Amino acid sequence: MSYNPQPQPHPKHPLAEFKVGVDNVIFSVDTANNRLLALLVKRLQDPFANSWSLPGTLVREGESLEDAAHRILSEKIKVENLYLEQLYTFGNPGRDPREAKESFGDRYLSVSYFALVRFEEAELLFNQGGMTAWFMLQKIPQLAFDHNKILNYGYQRLRNKLEYSPIAFDVLPDLFTLNEVYQLYCTILGENFSDYSNFRTRLLKLGFLSDTGIKVSRGAGRPASLYRFDAEAFAPLKNKPLVFI
């Protein structure tokens, strides 16, 4: 046990003042076309006017970070089913050109959130000014600020989460076929990540998908069973290490 100074302002080292923004990395899977998409907005104002960027907002008085993340999401798209979690905080000095320009010299901090939304219901909202669009992950342009870095970080998180947690079932419909789950995994993780037959058996052995017995025909071939995610059966597995693929 030793005596230490309490953190406090040092005359030679003034504290930084911050504006805090929330930037969302919003993913969605267009299952019809097997495309993994990210939502981007076109900036109207400087800095980086006319550049595409992650949808973001500055945090308001009395607003929690997660509320701000939800707000920016609901301003851009209409969604009911989604997964959202905090991603990472980027706060290096100089990451926002406004820091140099503005007289008061505030730093701009970005707390990023990562979201996965159900594509079929994610209707892009029309608003005054600015554009919102889905971009294929292979065709992301140069983005404003350090947003390419943030997006890549989010993509990594997406793949990890998909392999170790049941986020897929947050954006699948209530009733789904096993092939729909498989297509979702393929689209996000890349084509040849696993054999379909083995994927099925591994997934079913986890024990939280229940067969409704209802059969549906999706085009040609034998009709598939509709399954549902059984939250009760999953609950006891929540804190155990699970591999979903």
Partner DNA sequence: TTGAATTTTGGTGAAAATCACTATAATTAA
Partner DNA sequence: TTAATTATAGTGATTTTCACCAAAATTCAA
Footprint on this chain of DNA (rule: CB under 7 A) = 177-179, 194-198, 200-202, 215, 217-225, 243
CB of 198 to DNA, least distance (A): 5
Binding site for a copy of itself (CB under 8 A): 1-10, 13-21, 41, 43-45, 55-65, 72, 75-76, 86, 88-89, 91-93, 105, 107, 109, 111, 124-133, 163, 241
Among the listed residues 120, 224, 205, 116, the one whose alpha carbon sits nearest the alpha carbon of residue 168: 116
Measure the CA–CA gap between 220 and 203, rounded to whole angstroms.
24
CB of 19 to a copy of itself, least distance (A): 7
Under DSSP, the state recorded for 21 is E
Measure the CA–CA gap between 116 and 159, rounded to whole angstroms.
11
CB of 222 to DNA, least distance (A): 3
CB of 143 to a copy of itself, least distance (A): 15
Query: How many Cα atoms are found within 13 Å in the side-chain-facing hemisphere of 147?
Result: 26
137 binds, options DNA, a copy of itself, none, Cβ within 5 to 8 A by partner type:
none
Under DSSP, the state recorded for 236 is G
103 binds, options DNA, a copy of itself, none, Cβ within 5 to 8 A by partner type:
none
Measure the CA–CA gap between 98 and 89, rounded to whole angstroms.
18
| All residues at 6 or more sequence positions from 207 whose CB lies less than 8 Å from its CB, including other chains | 233, 237
Among the listed residues 162, 126, 146, the one whose alpha carbon sits nearest the alpha carbon of residue 23: 146
218 binds, options a copy of itself, DNA, none, Cβ within 5 to 8 A by partner type:
DNA
CB of 183 to a copy of itself, least distance (A): 22
Q: Which two tokens stand for residue 156?
A: 């990594």
For DNA, give the closer residue by CB, 83 or 227: 227
For a copy of itself, give the closer residue by CB, 74 or 212: 74
For DNA, give the closer residue by CB, 148 or 225: 225
